Chains A and B, each alone.
Chain A
Amino acid sequence: MQLQGYGTSDSARLDATFAALADPTRRAILARLASGEASVLELAEPFAMSQPAISKHLGVLERAGLVSRGRAAQRRPRKLEARPLAEASEWLEKYRRYWEGNFQGLDTLLRELQAKGKKRANPKR
């Protein structure tokens, strides 16, 4: 089993994780693997995509250490590797939540300002 993702430095590994997660097909593959290991054929099935195209996406996920290959001779099932995902999601999730917190406050403020603006525009008599 090769987990190249663990051999590189922290930030290089995170870069690889972020890059791997940037694609909707790869996210869908990870979501499928979250419910259990699957062969390339099984992974390709829900997509209107050739097997080589799916293999290419799997290659990116494997290099990021997000997916590994099992040993079962013919099937070589892929499985989800949670550790890099956990690291990346923890970072991004915190950062994202920080900004989402800010922007929810801004939503409230904008609603308030618009309500005030409307009152000024059509004063009720």
Chain B
Amino acid sequence: MDAQPKTLKLATPTEREIVITRDFDAPRDLVFECFTKPELLKRWLGVHNGWVLAVCEIDLRVGGAYRYLWRGPGKTEMGMGGKYLEIVRPERLVSTEKFDAAWYPGGAVGTLTLAERSGRTLATTSLLYESKEARDAVLKSPMDQGMEAGYAALDALLAALGSDAGGRKAG
């Protein structure tokens, strides 16, 4: 089923942006639904490590609002919301976003782009923050607090760097 590897790519093309790309084994109309229907979002968005997406309200029209509220272990809550700025079904969704207890200044504008090729979908999420400081604070935020810090991450990166180099030498 998963013949082709699905690799998440994370990039910071400008100093206010984070861009995440990932491909999916599904046509884009289905992927678009998963990003815009509450009952589907509740199944996957931020629902690991004991967190549930308890509230997910979506008014999918330009100017319409959305609101997400997650509940985590120990009654922790995290809410966010925004408005839809542009909706081109099933290829593009632009919205503002702001966390209730934002740990960074200003809000952000998120752009989801879905490109379909041979039944697979490449999803690109671009998040544009108000400043470089805000962007960096988001990258720095430990969204999954339970995760152990330290040099395990370095090991993983170095392993990845190693396979990069291996591919290069062979070529």
Contacts and interface: CB of A to CB of B under 8 A. Distances in A.
Interface of A: 10-11, 14-15, 18, 22, 24-25, 27-28, 30-32, 34, 46-47, 82, 85-86, 89-103, 105-111, 113-114, 117
Nearest to B164: A27
Q: Which one of A30, A31, A32, A102 has the highest number of Cβ atoms from chain B below 10 Å of its Cβ?
A: A31
Contacts of A31: 158, 161-162, 164-165
A95 B139 contact: yes
Contact of A86 (B33, B133, B153): B153
Contact of A98 (B43, B133, B144, B169): B144
A107 B6 contact: yes
Contacts of B54: none
Given A32-B165, A94-B144, A111-B25, A103 B34 contact: no
Given A11-B133, A34-B161, A99-B22, A89 B156 contact: yes
B45 interface: yes
Interface string B6-48: 1010111001001010101110001101100000100111111
Interface residues of B, number: 51
B162 A110 contact: no
Interface in B98-150: 132-133, 136, 138-144, 147, 149-150
5 contacts: A14-B139, A30-B161, A97-B144, A98-B144, A106-B31
Given A18-B12, A102-B45, A114-B30, A107 B136 contact: no
A120 to B, nearest CB: 13
Contacts of B153: 86, 89-90, 93-94
B154 interface: yes
B75 interface: no
Q: 7 closest pairs, A vs B, by CB?
A: A105-B44, A31-B165, A31-B161, A93-B153, A89-B157, A110-B26, A28-B165
Given A105-B44, A110-B31, A114-B26, A99 B168 contact: no
Nearest to B123: A103
Contact of B8 (A22, A103, A117): A103
A32 B4 CA distance: 28
